[in-house]
Amino acid sequence: MLQLFPDRPTIEIVELTQCPYDSTPIDAEFMSGGSMLLTCPRCRAEWEWHGAWVRRIREPDRNAVVTRDEARHIEPAG
């Protein structure tokens, strides 16, 4: 899906190819300044990815997330 650095053996962003809340494949689009905007099409959560860090910029819509046991421990604080 995301092959930004094919010369690297590990791609950090691979961790965010799926939404951590509902495991939906995440849409990615390039932004000015070299950042990428990652958006979950299901719960509308958004992250900004830039270099070595990822920052969540919009909370997920909890009503759209199917609560599952395997997802609960990923981010207990919400």
Burial of 2 (0-12, 13-18, 19+ CB in 10 A): middle
CB of 47 to Zn ion, least distance (A): 10
For Zn ion, the closer CB: 24 or 35: 24
CB of 34 to Zn ion, least distance (A): 24
Instruction: Give the strand pairing for 27-30 and 46-50.
Output: unpaired
For Zn ion, the closer CB: 25 or 30: 25
Whole-angstrom Cα distance, residue 54 to residue 76? 18
Give the footprint of Zn ion on this chain (CB under 5 A).
19, 21-22, 24, 40, 42-43
